[in-house]
Structure 1
Amino acid sequence: MYRMALMALIAGDVPGINRERCIKIAIVHDIAEAIVGDITPADGVLKVEKSRLEQAALNEMCNVLGGGMRGTFGNSNVLARELWREYEDNASLEANLVKDFDKVEMILQALKYETDEFFLSTAGKFQTEIGKSWAAEINSRRNSRLAKKLN
């Protein structure tokens, strides 16, 4: 979440994108994982069940954070649960961009750990020009590193 919020902060201006909203979405997008963990397709959990578990966890986290069922985020009048739902539903340009940041962050981890799985699972799935550009740069750096290892 932290890396993604930083990506939103340092990304160049994108027409029609609200940077502050991207930062907020990046911060709350995985809030449910604090309780349910990172449920991946490899876990074999049905999408409906994953959504139910994460929604319950989000409700619990909003209560823990002191916002009750409203779960307000900071001094903003935008609700944490609305930001989370926007991300989950891929309902805005900001959500698209943050989803790309999530994939970029994943392949940054893969670069660090040299795990092909992350690169393969995100290939061709970027929705925004920034996401595509950053992923291409990471892949280029990775390919250069791999080529040096072979030589």
Structure 2
Amino acid sequence: MAVVHNSKILEFLELVGRLKHYKRTGWVLCDIDECESIAGHMYRMGMMTFLLTDETNTTNLDRFKCLQIALVHDLAECIVGDLTPHCGVSPEEKHRREDEAMKQIAELTGIAGDRMYHLYKEYENQSSPEANFAKDLDRYDMILQAFEYEKRENKPNKLQEFFTATEGKFKHPFIQGLVQELYSQREEFEKKSQLNGKA
């Protein structure tokens, strides 16, 4: 069995640490001040996996695996950055760069890296129920964050493009319920803003 040197682990941890400071591109392009980091996005996705209880986990997902996928799904961005459709990079090229980055990251940590790479591929290929759920979390965290920015700036519908991009794409019943709640709160926020505007 290959021995992983501590110097390699330190290199890995420094790469991961970059995600604490890299801003999410989508918000930067929308001129959102003090927007979230990539790590912040992954953290809230991870926290959402704790909400899978006997009551909400109707499809018997492996909660720990969902958490692991949430924590590695954007890991490649510590090397390639957060590439969006607005960055002028084709989806194929984006996947190629991210795959290359994940292989680099995996090589630093041996068996642990193999596990991370496998989970990343599972997410990319959407090849398990847990990967599907993580995709729901990814999209849900994005629209929840968009709504939080709309409220913070008091600009209803400013970030509608994020809602339009995800509409009808949520699969898990628990997340679908959370989406409905978010939509209804957003509608309420819009109505109140209109009333205040007329006052």
TM-score for both structures, normalised by structure 2: 0.67
Residue 60 of structure 2: aligned partner: 16
In the alignment, the residues of structure 2 paired with residue 85 and residue 137 of structure 1 have an alpha-carbon distance, to the nearest angstrom, of: 31
Q: Which runs of 5+ in 2 are unaligned?
A: 1-41, 151-158
- Runs of 4+ in structure 1 over 4 Å off: none
The SS at the match of 1:79 is helix
In the alignment, the residues of structure 2 paired with residue 139 and residue 34 of structure 1 have an alpha-carbon distance, to the nearest angstrom, of: 32
Q: Which runs of 5+ in 1 are unaligned?
A: none
Q: Once the two structures are aligned, what percentage of the paired residues are identical?
A: 40
In the alignment, the residues of structure 1 paired with residue 88 and residue 179 of structure 2 have an alpha-carbon distance, to the nearest angstrom, of: 27
In the alignment, the residues of structure 2 paired with residue 37 and residue 135 of structure 1 have an alpha-carbon distance, to the nearest angstrom, of: 28
Asked whether 1:126 is paired with 2:162, we answer: no
Q: How big is the shift at 1:60?
A: 2.3
Residue 48 of structure 2: aligned partner: 7
Question: In terms of Rg, which structure is larger?
Answer: 2
What number of residue pairs does the alignment pair up? 143
Q: How big is the shift at 1:117?
A: 1.6
Kept in 1, the 8 Å contact 2:80–2:98? The answer is: yes
In the alignment, the residues of structure 2 paired with residue 56 and residue 127 of structure 1 have an alpha-carbon distance, to the nearest angstrom, of: 29
Q: How big is the shift at 1:93?
A: 0.6
Task: Write the letter of the residue equivalent to 1:18.
Answer: D
Task: Write the letter of the residue equivalent to 2:46.
Answer: A
TM-score for both structures, normalised by structure 1: 0.88
Q: How big is the shift at 1:14?
A: 2.8
